[in-house]
Amino acid sequence: MAPYERILKAATIKLNPNPKLSAVLILFYPVGNNICTMLILRNTYKGVHSAQIGFPGGKMEAGDADLEATALREAHEEVGVNPNQVEIIGKLSDLYIPPSGYLVQPYIGYTNDKPNFIRDENEVEQLIEVSADTIMDESIVGKKKIQLGGSKLKIKYPFFDVNGHTVWGATAMMISELKAVIKNSQ
């Protein structure tokens, strides 16, 4: 009778009883008459998240009071978002990422004005602004074969085509849950 989320969390902890804690920020802000959010294309480097698209975020550090502070700090470091201008309004389910051993807590926030984004060139190759309408558009959902980083293995994976970028894996799961939350709140 355990809820699905509890079963997943139990399996996660069994696989890796000490996951690295991390957080991301899904930040909504106005652009004209639209509500938008920001994704990032990570730089290419040796690592499992190289050249992938995600929300600004990263590993919890000793100086972070909690995971919310981690999400805000990372968004500030990676894309220049002022933490004092962000109102956190909720969070999504935490998500374990087996290849890297991270347990990610996504936070949802908003700001009344579009931030003056400044990308950290060491971590972020590109900023990808996407409207909430695009996220909610079912025509961006697809399936295709994606090569897993560092291997010759290709798997058929669901993805979102966001402004010509393939968004899959943990970020796609977060977007999927976000879409469900938005649909259920209407």
Query: What tokens does 91 get?
Result: 């969070």
Res 125: pLDDT: 93
Helix (H) or strand (E) holding 132: helix 132-136
Q: Which domains does the chain have, with CATH numbers?
A: 4-134 (3.90.79.10)
Quick: pLDDT tens for 106-146. Answer: 999 999 999 999 999 998 999 999 999 999 999 999 988 86
Residue-level pLDDT at 185: 83
- pLDDT tens digits for 2-22? 445 555 666 666 677 688 999
Q: What angle do CA 164, 166, 168 make, to 5 degrees?
A: 155
The predicted structure's pLDDT at residue 168? 86
Which tens digit of pLDDT belongs to each residue from 71-96?
999 999 999 999 999 999 999 999 88
The pLDDT value given to residue 43: 80
| Bridge partners for 36 per DSSP | 29, 131
Residue 1 has pLDDT above 50, yes or no: no
Distance CA 32, CA 78 (A): 24
Q: For 49-72, how does the pLDDT look when each residue is reduced to its tens digit (9 = 90+)? A: 556 899 999 999 999 999 999 999
pLDDT computed for residue 161 by the predictor: 94
CA distance 11 to 140: 31
